[in-house]
Structure 1
Amino acid sequence: MSQSTLSAHAAHDHGHEHQSHSVFGFWAYLMTDCVLFASLFATFAMFAMQTVGGPTGKDLFNLNDVALETSLLLTSSLTFGFAMIAATRQRIGAVLGWLFVTFALGAGFLWLELNEFAHLVAEGAGPQRSAFWSAFFTLVGTHGLHVTVGLLWLVVLVVQMLGKRKLSERDLRRLACLSLFWHFLDIVWICVFSFVYLGSIV
């Protein structure tokens, strides 16, 4: 076997090793995020009844708005899936289009969430009002911060793909990692919707 062939094989093996390390590192990060959100959910459960005579979630939560938030985020997960399908087929125009739709849906979710926060504060239910509202704002706000990071990450990937005729393995790996992150946020939000909003109203 020639020296050039050996070098090519070594470079290929090194690339696969780097890719496996990157994917493993991202999964490790998601596991730490699971621990973070599990801790926030546990904290919220501890203070769910600690309103010190102030307004409760049942008094102020608007399930219609929250349901709209949920539909926007879940739909964004679907559109991201379409972007991944287009990416595997090297249809860059379709990838960029679906990512734009995903960004718009995610931004709409954040806008509704910020409106909800502003409404709650105006009603005297800010994070300083009671332990319940402190736990609520911390949990929901942390999820919203993650969505913001996901949107910024999405913009960076779109900028990197502009002008390309073919997506590299690195591009596909980055898209796959962001896809995992985005779907993870959907799962967390379903738990928030069920445990925080529905659980506080029942």
Structure 2
Amino acid sequence: MSDHRIQAGAAGAALTVREYHLAHEPHPENGTSLGFWLYLMSDCLIFAALFATYGVLGRNYAAGPNGAELFDLKLVAINTAFLLLSSITFGFAMLRKQMDDVKGTLLWLAVTGLFGLCFLGLELYEFNHLIHEGAGPQRSAFLSAFFTLVGTHGLHVTFGLIWMVVLMVQIGQHGLIHENKRRLMCLSMFWHFLDVVWIGVFTFVYLMGVL
């Protein structure tokens, strides 16, 4: 009976030691950054494929309206300004993060999220207007490629905003601990990546479509 107790105690002690080591195992210094860069590279491939698809199908109007007839360049320029401003305010949040200013970081993240919501709101308004005018994605190959490319970017912005809200809650609860700083850095790379992609969309889809 005592042997069984000794074996059980030894097994329990071994399990406790293993749990301790797992809990205190150091996080690889560059593991998260490397993994996130790999993710961004895969996202680059997705958008490259969507841009290439639009380049092939962007002139197939099927006797329907083209970009010059559909796009409101002033509205798109305002939307672009919203996203560019959100990138600047995110930079301010990162500066406050470097100073370990929790309130300042949360404030600028909230402003960034507000600009992101404005961007999504105008994009949804544009989509609704086009569909109401009979220029939905099923109208032509041009519109199918347009809705897929712009919609995929908008979906990424939506996920970025959800991520931002979750991270703000984590920062509010635990402060600017090392893990939250690392997560904030990853979100910053993701947000600026979306900004760069949108500049490509604005130039390649809207400007070239109108001009």
TM-score, with length taken from structure 2: 0.87
Matches within 5 A, 1:34-183: 34-164=44-174, 166-183=175-192
Q: How far apart in 1 are the matches of 2:173 and 2:52?
A: 46
Q: Which among 25, 36, 39 is matched to residue 35 of structure 2?
A: 25
Q: How far apart in 2 are the matches of 1:66 and 1:105?
A: 14
Q: Are 1:191 and 2:205 counterparts? A: no
Residue identity in the other structure for 1:139? L
Unaligned runs of 5+ residues in structure 1 are 1-10
Q: How far apart in 1 are the matches of 2:89 and 2:31?
A: 28
Runs of 4+ off more than 2 Å:
none
Q: How far apart in 2 are the matches of 1:174 and 1:112?
A: 28
- Superposition deviation, residue 48 in structure 1: 1.1
Q: Are 1:200 and 2:206 counterparts? A: no
- Superposition deviation, residue 163 in structure 1: 4.0
Deviation string 1:156-201 (CA, Å, 9 cap, x unpaired) is 000111144x411111110000000000000000000000000111
Q: How far apart in 1 are the matches of 2:169 and 2:210?
A: 43
- Superposition deviation, residue 40 in structure 1: 0.1
Q: How far apart in 1 are the matches of 2:67 and 2:102?
A: 44
Residue 9 of structure 2 is matched in structure 1 by none
Q: Secondary structure at the match of 1:71?
A: helix
Q: Secondary structure at the match of 2:30?
A: helix
Q: How far apart in 2 are the matches of 1:187 and 1:138?
A: 18
Q: How far apart in 2 are the matches of 1:151 and 1:163?
A: 19
Deviation string 1:100-128 (CA, Å, 9 cap, x unpaired) is 00000000000000000000001111000
Residue 4 of structure 2 is matched in structure 1 by none
Across the aligned residues of Structure 1 and Structure 2, the Cα RMSD in angstroms comes to 1.5
Residue identity in the other structure for 1:107? L
- How many matched pairs? 190
Q: How far apart in 2 are the matches of 1:197 and 1:163?
A: 42
Q: Secondary structure at the match of 2:58?
A: coil
